[in-house]
Structure 1
Amino acid sequence: MSAFRSGLLLLASAFGNLCMKMFTTRIIRRYGFRRVAIINVAIAALFVLACSLLAPATPLPWILLTLFIYGLARSLQFSTLATLAYADIGEAQKSAASTLWSVVQQMTIGMGIAFDALALRVAAYFRGISAGAEEVSEPHFVLTDFHWAFVMAGLLVLLTVLGYHSLARNAGSNFGGARQAGTDSTR
C-alpha cells in the first residue's frame, strides 16, 4: 500500500474523531451519558467487526467510510468516559483524578495493543502456525489472521455494553446529560 493510501486510512479515522467533537455535547445533553455510552459502544463494536470484512479488494471509499464512522464512535465514547470519570470528583481531588485518568488511558491503550497481538497469535495458532523451537520465532500472519483478530476485538468491545448497562440511568446528569424523569437512580 502506498504511503498516500495508508495515510488516507489514518486520516479517515482521525477526521471522524474531529468531526464528532462538534456534536458530542449536544448528543450527550439530549440522550444522557448512559444511553449514549450503551448505544455508541455497540456502534463502535459493529465497526470494529466491520473491519474484519475489509480486504485489499474492498473499494477505498468503503474502507474510508468504515474508518470514518469508527472514528466518530471512538471519539464520542472517549469523551463520554472522560467526562464521567470526573462526575463525582470534588474540586480538591480533580488534579489527582486527572493524573489517575491519564494513567488509566495509557494502560488501556497498552492492554488493547497486547490483546490485539494475542488475538493475532491465537488466529495464527488455530490456522496451524505456532512458534516452536524448530520454527521461526515470529509466525507469518495472513489476512485471515487479521480478520479473526478484528472479530475478537469487536466481540470484546461489545461485551462492555454490560458494564455500561449497569450505570445509573441519571449518570452524568450533573454535567448536563439528559435527566431521565421517573427512573430509578441505581439503574
Structure 2
Amino acid sequence: MPVRRIIIAITGATGAIYGVRLLQVLREIPGIELHLMVSDAGVLNLHQELGMGRKEVEALAHVVHHIRDVGAAIASGSFQSDGMIIAPCSMKTLAAVAHGLSDNLISRAADVVLKERRRLILMVRETPFNLAHLRNMTAVTEMGGIIFPPLPGFYHRPQSITEMVDHTVGRVLDLFAIPHTLTPRWNGMKQDD
C-alpha cells in the first residue's frame, strides 16, 4: 500500500485541540505518514489550552520539522505529499501564505503545496474578521487553498466538546477522502408527523 504523507502545522491561534486531534486520529490509520511543525506560539497554546508540551505533541507525528529548517524535505515540490493542514491557523500565518512570504518552514511548505496544486487547508481562528483577514482568505482561496474555520455543527446534537471537535476533524478528513467514523453522516432532516 502506498504511503500517504500529510503535513500538519500547529500555529499560535486558539484551537490547538484541532491539530492534536488530527494527529491522534491520523496516527491510527495505516499507510499515513505525518509530518509536523509547531510554531513557538503554537507551543504556548498547546500548554495553555491542553497542558501539553512540545515533545508530547511531536511524539504523535512520524517526522518532525523545525520551523526554521527551510532546507527540510517538505520545503521542496519534489517531496510527494497529499497536502497540508494548518490547525489552527493564526492570522499571521494566513497572511504569510496569502502573500507567499515563505518566511519560515510552515509558510514555505504551504507555498509548495499550493504551487504543486495539492490540498491546503487552513483552519483559521479569529473573530471577528477584519478586512485584511477576509482579503487574505480570498487570496488563499483564489490560489486553490481551502479556508476552513473550525465552526462546530449542531445538527448531530453533540454532547461534549470532544464530539464537536471530532465533527470538525471528520469534515477535514473528508476533504482528503480519508475514511473515518468520527461523526454521524447527515441523513436529512427528521420531521415529526
Q: Which has the higher helix share?
A: 1
Q: Which has the higher strand share?
A: 2
Larger radius of gyration: 1
Q: Taking CA–CA contacts closer than 8 Å with sequence separation of 6 or more, which of the two structures ends up with the larger relative contact order? A: 1
Q: TM-score, normalised by structure 1?
A: 0.30
